Structure 1
Amino acid sequence: MNFPAETLHAVNERNERNEPPLAGANCCNSASTTFGSSTPLWSSDLLVSDPETLLHCQSDFGRVPVDLLLTATYQVSIKGFNDSKSDAFPAGIITSEIPRFLEKAIAIAESATRQHHGSVALSLGPYGACMIPSQEYSGIYDGEHGSQSALYQWHRERLALFAQVPSISSRVAYMAMETIPRVDEIVAMRRALDSVSELSGLPFWMSCLYPGDDEALPTGETIEEALRAMLDSSLARSVPWGVGINCTKVWKLPSTLKRYETTMRDMVRQGLVKEWPALVLYPDGTNGQVYNTTTQKWEGPGDTKDVKRVPWEEQLAGAVRGTESRGQWKQIVVGGCCMASSEDISRLRKVLL
């Protein structure tokens, strides 16, 4: 879930009438807004450099309208702020100043969705999303962050900064722990949330990515391992309200969702969980392009398996209807990730209504 399109989250929540009131977006609706090694905060750089553009971008999704809008905090990190130098911050942004920018991210999302009475979800990416080059598509981290204990500490320190935002628990409806490429990081994020009381009571979802042609995490770990790491209450007190899939090609959803469903049935049968969680589904909006972390560009694959004759929103709607008919998800939240625009989400809304 990388720049610039990593900022294009939108999700829809199906209501009691089986209609999907749309939920929302994170940042920029334009591929011309680019970020890279010169912007250590990646897409979150707009919080510092151009909050007006950020508001404009998020408002594009707010006008769809959407019910849930993600904050532009996916790639926020302490180091990213510390390394962000400008005329206003020639030595970078010191850690004690970071919470005011996090508050700004929430305020911008609130403003963008206020007219249509939407809610805000706090976007939290993995450690790999904050590396240069980013590594959430590989899960290959540096030695200092290669263990569960190190990842726990990193996420705990970041969550503690969010906890300093005034009234955050009443301003944020959900937390989105997304694009997680490693099983040990899933557990680390849950444990970190346990340690931050200001946030631990908020409902949250955890979503993984499946970027290859198989149905595995970037590390090769399985869907079964990922879901157990998310939902096993013996690993951490904080258990997600929802589990999901993002940063994954839309054509992979039907088979990947069947694996999710099979795993959930097994976990219920084994007594590891009592009921199914919500499902959060926001695949890439690409036509088969793959993000190259070296060139930092979206590139066309040698052969594309996307069904180009079928519009993206129709493929996604078909996957949603399929899993809805087979599964027992408490709720289904659906939208788009990389390369999805507000126009895509608007079309998705029309298909699902």
Structure 2
Amino acid sequence: MASVQILDGGLGTSLQDKYGVNFSSTDTPLWASHLLVSNPETLKACQSDFGEAGVDILLTATYQIYTGGFQNTKTAEFPQGIPASEVGRFLRTAVEVAEISKVRDSAKIALSLGPYGACMIPGQEYGGLYDAEHDDEENLYRWHLERLQLFQNVEGEDLTSRIQYVAFETLPRLDEDECLPDGSNVEQVVEASIGPMEGALVPLGIGMNCTKVHKLSGLVDRFGACVKDAIATGLTSAVPSLILYPDGTNGEVYNTMTQTWERPEGQGSNQDVRPWEVQLAQVVSDANAKGPFQHFIVGGCCKASHKDITKLREQFTAA
């Protein structure tokens, strides 16, 4: 049987749907990370929901963290925006909230870092249409490096020592080391992710998030074939974990212009009437049977609640 770890679900949408938190690019440019500043207690309650669901990995509320987002965040304490010198305390809060929220002693913390496009207005985390200043590999590398460095010197503490994984999420461009709207294909993604690169670490896992669950099967087959080829040709000798956390929607699509979830006109519900967690568990079972993946990290993205994650864990507990 496959080795499976359970990841959490959609933090931002859970904050909206259960806790009534509203986000906008104007008032809350940090999105879910805004609660590190405005309401850590509500953030802790929401992340604790996922902890109570029994997750093995809990993502920090840092997906859209970057200095510009803090600079554009106006509060009573910082009416002109939060200066770089004050950012550290909120990063510490992100790690502390995640640590407090995990219930399983063995659970790990993953530092969540989204793509540059998630910080644009309107967002481009799916389209990958970046501005000229961030339209090449070198500048994207520097942008992500700066974010990582924010966590390495917080009042004399290296917060990364309290984090077990770093999760680069929803990266829409190959030069950000993922796919696919920029025209690259699965084969290029796998090669870029696990191929040899001087001085680079081999990732624990590769995969996909925030896609529809019914699209996973075909994509997983292609990922598996690519990894098999990479091993056969000597590109890599290690099989990465397969990471899958599709969104928990039922046909809704996020409109980056209106910043709302909408169901496209004429579109019905997903034709597969099986519950979301059943579909996802079946994808994992099929992938395990076909190979080469031996370890899976599965959870949910947008609209996947803690209840969905509880049901997902039950799928594998029952197996």
Q: Tell me if both proteins adopt one fold, taking TM over 0.5 as the criterion.
A: yes
DSSP 3-state at the match of 1:332: strand
What does 1:118-267 correspond to in 2, within 5 Å?
118-165=107-154, 166-186=157-177, 217-234=180-197, 237-267=200-230
The answer (yes or no) to whether the contact 1:229–1:235 under 8 Å persists in 2 is no
DSSP 3-state at the match of 1:176: strand
Is 1:89 aligned to 2:78, yes or no? yes
| TM-superposition CA deviations, 1:302-340 (whole Å, max 9, x none) | 435723411111111110101011112241111111110
For 1:22, the equivalent position in structure 2 comes to: 6
Of 293, 297, 301, the residue aligned with 2:256 is: 293
The answer (yes or no) to whether the contact 1:250–1:316 under 8 Å persists in 2 is yes
Q: Aligned-pair RMSD on alpha carbons?
A: 1.8
Give the drift of 1:220: 2.3
Runs of 4+ residues over 6 Å off in structure 1: none
Give the drift of 1:71: 0.3
| TM-superposition CA deviations, 1:228-282 (whole Å, max 9, x none) | 1111223651221110110110000110000101111111122111121111110
DSSP 3-state at the match of 1:180: coil
DSSP 3-state at the match of 1:248: coil
CA distance in 2 between counterparts of 1:304 and 1:225 reads 33
CA distance in 1 between counterparts of 2:121 and 2:83 reads 20
CA distance in 2 between counterparts of 1:264 and 1:304 reads 35
CA distance in 1 between counterparts of 2:267 and 2:9 reads 30
The answer (yes or no) to whether the contact 1:250–1:306 under 8 Å persists in 2 is no
The answer (yes or no) to whether the contact 2:244–2:297 under 8 Å persists in 1 is yes
- Residue identity matched to 2:35: L
CA distance in 2 between counterparts of 1:322 and 1:105 reads 36
- Residue identity matched to 2:138: S
Relative to 1, partners in 2 of residues 1:20 and 1:262: Cα closer, same or farther, differing over 3 Å?
closer
CA distance in 1 between counterparts of 2:9 and 2:299 reads 9
For 1:110, the equivalent position in structure 2 comes to: 99
CA distance in 2 between counterparts of 1:89 and 1:136 reads 28
Q: Which runs of 5+ in 2 are unaligned?
A: none
Is 1:321 aligned to 2:285, yes or no? yes
Is 1:333 aligned to 2:294, yes or no? no
| TM-superposition CA deviations, 1:88-117 (whole Å, max 9, x none) | 111111112112211110000000114655
DSSP 3-state at the match of 1:220: coil
CA distance in 2 between counterparts of 1:83 and 1:170 reads 28
Give the drift of 1:163: 1.3
Of 344, 348, 351, the residue aligned with 2:308 is: 344
CA distance in 2 between counterparts of 1:283 and 1:115 reads 23
The answer (yes or no) to whether the contact 1:26–1:72 under 8 Å persists in 2 is no
Is 1:35 aligned to 2:23, yes or no? yes
The alignment covers a number of residue pairs equal to: 309
Give the drift of 1:79: 0.2
DSSP 3-state at the match of 1:254: helix
Relative to 1, partners in 2 of residues 1:297 and 1:77: Cα closer, same or farther, differing over 3 Å?
same
The answer (yes or no) to whether the contact 1:66–1:116 under 8 Å persists in 2 is no
For 1:198, the equivalent position in structure 2 comes to: none
CA distance in 1 between counterparts of 2:89 and 2:244 reads 31
Give the drift of 1:77: 1.0
What TM-score, normalized by structure 2, do the two folds share? 0.91
The answer (yes or no) to whether the contact 1:72–1:105 under 8 Å persists in 2 is yes
For 2:236, the equivalent position in structure 1 comes to: 273
CA distance in 1 between counterparts of 2:104 and 2:215 reads 35
- Residue identity matched to 2:63: Y
Q: Which runs of 5+ in 1 are unaligned?
A: 1-16, 187-207, 209-215
CA distance in 2 between counterparts of 1:159 and 1:304 reads 42
CA distance in 1 between counterparts of 2:53 and 2:105 reads 9
DSSP 3-state at the match of 1:298: strand
What TM-score, normalized by structure 1, do the two folds share? 0.83
| TM-superposition CA deviations, 1:115-167 (whole Å, max 9, x none) | 65522111011101111111111000111111111111111111110112424
- Residue identity matched to 2:24: G
